[in-house]
Every structure is written in C-alpha cells, then in structure tokens.
Amino acid sequence: MTATNVVLGLCAFTHDSAAGLLVDGDLAGFAEEERLTGDKHTAAYPDRAVAWLLDTAGIGPASVDVVAYNFDGRRYLDALPATELFARIPETQERAQPRADSFRKVHDRFTARMTELRSRFPHARMAPVLHHRAHGLYAFASSEYDAAAVLVVDSLGEVQSTTIGSGLRLSDGGCRTVVSEDITDPASLGYAYGAVTEHLGWRRGDEEGTVMALAALGDPGRFRPLMREAIVLTEAGFALNPRWFPLRVLARGYPRVSAEFVAATCPSRDPAAPVEPVHADLAAALQERTEEVMVHLARRARAVTGMRLLCVGGGVAANCVAVGKIVEAGIFDEVHVPPAPGDSGTAIGAALAVSLDAGRWLPTGVAGRCYLGPAYTGLTLPEHPRPGLSAYRPAVPAKHLAIKLAEGYTVGLFHDALEAGPRALGNRSILASPLLPDVVDRLNATVKFREPFRPFAPVVLASAARDYFTLPQPAPFMSIASGVTDLTRDKLPTVVHVNNTARVQTVTPHANPFLAQVLAEFAALTGHPVLINTSLNVKGKPICGTPDMAMDCLTGSGLDALMLEGWWVTKC
C-alpha cells in the first residue's frame, strides 16, 4: 500500500539528534542518532535514524510530505525587546547586548538549517514547531490519559523555559492542547541545574543525573539560604537571581555562575579532582531547591487546570527524585513522564503537532510505547562472532539468562526493538542480581567505569511492585524515584540509594514479555522478581543501539556475558 501522508519529525543540529516518522497517522518508529553512531548527545543531522525509518516504511526522501522541526527559530527574536530593560539593571547590563546578539545569531542559524533540510527533502514542506509545544504534545500523547495537566520544564525552548497547560483527547480522535501560563528566559530551572553541574565538574547537558545522585550524600542546609536566594519562588512559578546565575548568553565564554557564586560556594571542580563534601553539599542544596520548585509548579498546574492527572516533559522531567516528590505530595492522582522527556522526544512531538494542525486525528502508536527503534530479531551468529568471543543459542534464552543471573553473572541484554529515551528499559540493558552484596561496587568499578556513589535502578514485575516499593502507581519508563519497603531494605539493599529511594521500573508481560519472563524465572530461583537494570553502555558512551556496539561493550568492560537476540555470547 502506498503511503498518502508522511511526516518526518526531527530533533537536529542542537543536541540529542533524533527522528520519528508518522505514516498515514501512525507512528512508524523513532530512533536517537547516538544509539546508531556511538557519538553521545550528537548534534548532527540524524542520517542513520532517518535512513532506518524511511527504509522500514519502504519509502524514499521524495515521499516525505512534511518535515516537522522541533524548534521555531523565528521566535528567538522574541528575546530582543527585553534588551533595553536588562541594559538598565546593574546585575545584567554587561550581558544585555551579548545576549541579544546571541539570540539573533541563533535565529539566523535556524534559517540556514531550514535551507539544508529543504535540500534533503525537496518535495516536503518545512514546518517548525514551538519547542515547548513539541515537548508537551509528546508528554500527553505518550500517556494513556483522556485529559491531563501538562507541565514542561527545561533549559530553553526559543524563549520559554517552563509551560503549564492541559491536554484533552476528543471524541472524534483529535486532540487539543493548551498552554495557559509560561515562564520565559532568563528564569530557567534547567539553566540553573546545568550551571551548577558544570561548576561541580560534570558535563552540562549530560551528567545532571550524577549531581542528583551525589546530592543524596550531602547536607543541603549548608547552601540552602544561597540556593533559595538564587532560585526564588513566585506566585506563578520562579525566577533566577542574576547575582548568582548571570544572564544567559547563547555563546561560549560566558560563565553560567557568577564570581560571587564561586566565592560563596567552592572553586570550580576539575573533572579529575576528588569529590569532596563541599561538592556534595552544594549538589544537595541544588537538588532540594529543584524539588521545591517542581512541586510548586505542579501545585500551580493543578490550580490552573483543575486536572487530576499530570504529564511532565522537558529535560528537568528526567530528575526522577523531583518527580517522585510530586507523586509523594499527592497533588495529582497519577503522574506520567514519557520515555524520552528530553529533546530527542520532541522529534515525535513536532510530528504530532504538524499532523494535528492539518486537521487530522491524534496519531496512533504513541501512547504507552517505548520500544520504537531498530530491532535485529533475525540475527544469526557464528560460533565465534569475533576473535575472543564464543556464541551459542540456548533452548530457552529467558530461563538460561535467569539462571546465570542467579549464579552471579553480570549480563548485557540486547533484545528486540531499541527503547526510546535515556533509561534502559530491558531491551538494551545490563542486568545483575540484587542479592550480591558487592554488586554495586563491582558494576561501577569494572563494568560502567563511573563514580562509586552512583546507584543502580531496580526492575520488578508490576504484579509484585508493592511488596518492594511504596510508589502508588506504575512506573514503566523508570522515571520516578520511589520509597522502598522493609522487605527491600532487608533483602535487597543494593537497589536502595542512600536517600532511601530507588528509581524503579515496573514491567508487565504485555509491555515486555521477554523481560517479564526473565523476572519470573529469577523469582522462581531466588524468591524475588527484582533485578538490577542499568543501561547497556559504559560511562561516556551512549546506550548500545546495534549488535556491534553491544559486542564492543562486552569486550571493553567487565561484563560476564551478553544475551544478544537469544544468543549467549561470552569471552573465550
């Protein structure tokens, strides 16, 4: 059958490049470019992701009707009218003109990007979409809610950093989303979190999760007054104090924390330097304030929309501890975070927006789905797929894997379609038994090669989740930090972080039959349907999206084995 309407959604030229494809009102697939190239957070045009999508759909570039882009670069000029005001304020006057110049430059760069995309898809219409609209639409459409409040919090989308609105599925198959309130630059929670992440010696836009983990080891009281002065709550949201977080300039050479901030906290940490108590204390104060702001915004969303369900999108939605605080506060009956809450997911959101603007119904294939990328289910391996590796195919792969995990093996799992987003959700995972007392130290030191204070997330059969975790709702995308029960503290302390929480993933046989079978087989052997689940990668590398990348991970780390599309691969 020939496709009659093809919309290609793109996140490209900024970071976390990705592509999603709608064919005749159905999501045909989605992939993040880094998973196919090995270049983490790549800003390149997603050549391989687009090629895979078009090949899967059986079409070429000439068949694409619309290219939906995840920013509307024309709106960067909206930042310019505030220049005169910033020039009159002592704390911002030095950066007022550089800020304006940088936003104008990004606007001009956007025009060049649209020209490049037209050359790649000469028969397609270019459709830029407001960044926060793309975030919000994807957050809502990926839920299975009929109506919900929608909260988007990130660093910057054109000029917006935070939006509060709602989504509603219509009886005719359509969808209506509304933004009721927004917060614009320079007030940005994502900007502040990234600034402190960089100051603490980790990569901004990549390692905020490390700072979130470190926060559990610190005392927030030490820098609490500073952080409350730096990030100020307002009736409708929050603001940043330029005394501590200088005005944003979209160019290199402009520090994101002030000299006064450095003097009041600590010198900027070299990434190779030891992590000291002062760094943990600063991380703790930042994380505490982030949680307070996110709960405040959630309360505002409830008040503005009157909705009982909440969808959260944007990069700050990846802060699972803050999302857990929203759930814990009981503001909403349930909270949903999409599998790809960051910018990559806006490739889907932009395509959804274009489809809805054309008067069509809300596309299918989005709600509840995370396994959207390339699969290699027909893979056949020789006895020695690489020098130093051996492979054979067990009769019952899930049972074989469970037995090996119960014996203490640490195993990479590469199975079926690639998951979307930053969390490994069982198809590109490293699994280990939580019953091994040294498993966390061993995983951090010899497999992942990362900081010793980093925790590991548990995956649990949804039917048994309440025996182990206090979270009152499903968590299929590992997006929410949960409290733990006495059973977990007593029997499975390796999955509990020092703040007494765990970022849990709940799994049903319907959502992931293979992983659910592994958990059931492991429970039959050990009594616990719980495993450690971390991403199939090492520090600094993206999640492995191809068989070759998975075998690289096996040979280059302390993994004991790799279950690769049903093949058991080990080092000779």
Q: What is the DSSP string of 28-95?
A: EEEEETHHHH--TT--S--HHHHHHHHHHHT--GGG--EEEES--GGGGGGGGGGHHHHHHSTTTHHH
Q: What is the DSSP string of 278-300?
A: HHHHHHHHHHHHHHHHHHHHHHH
Distance CA 163, CA 144 (A): 21
Whole-structure pTM over 0.95, yes or no? yes
Residues 6+ apart with CB under 8 A from 167: 136, 137, 140, 141, 145, 147, 148, 150, 175, 176, 177, 311
Q: Is 183 in contact with 161 (CB distance < 8 Å)?
A: yes
Distance CA 286, CA 280 (A): 10
Q: Encoding tokens for residue 157? A: 């989308």
Dihedral angle computed from the Cα positions of residues 281, 287, 220 and 497, in that order, rounded to the nearest 10 degrees = -80
Q: Is 321 in contact with 501 (CB distance < 8 Å)?
A: yes
* Residue whose entry in the numeric block shows the structure tokens 């909270």: 335
Distance of CA 178 to CAs 127, 160, 380, Å? 19, 15, 49
Residues 6+ apart with CB under 8 A from 529: 460, 461, 463, 464, 519, 520, 522, 523
The DSSP element (H or E) to which 328 belongs, if any, is helix 320-329
DSSP label at 426?
S
Phi, psi of 309 (to 5 degrees): -120, 150
DSSP label at 391?
E
How far out from the chain centre does Cα 94 lie? 34
Each residue's pLDDT, cut to its tens digit, for the chain (572 residues) gives 466 799 999 999 999 999 999 999 999 999 999 999 999 999 999 999 999 999 999 999 999 999 999 999 999 999 999 999 999 999 999 999 999 999 999 999 999 999 999 999 999 999 999 999 999 999 999 999 999 999 999 999 999 999 999 999 998 888 989 999 999 999 999 999 999 999 999 999 999 999 999 999 999 999 999 999 999 999 999 999 999 999 999 999 999 999 999 999 999 999 999 999 999 999 999 999 999 999 999 999 999 999 999 999 999 999 999 999 999 999 999 999 999 999 999 999 999 999 999 988 999 999 999 999 999 999 999 999 999 999 999 999 999 999 999 999 999 999 999 999 999 999 999 999 999 999 999 998 999 989 999 989 999 999 999 999 999 999 999 999 999 999 999 999 999 999 999 999 999 999 999 999 999 999 999 999 999 999 999 999 999 999 999 999 999 999 999 999 999 999 98
Q: What residue type is assigned to position 237 of the chain?
A: G
Distance CA 197, CA 157 (A): 20
Q: Is the peptide bond before 122 cis (omega within 30 degrees of 0)?
A: no
Distance CA 18, CA 31 (A): 6
Distance of CA 431 to CAs 63, 318, 491, Å? 41, 21, 18
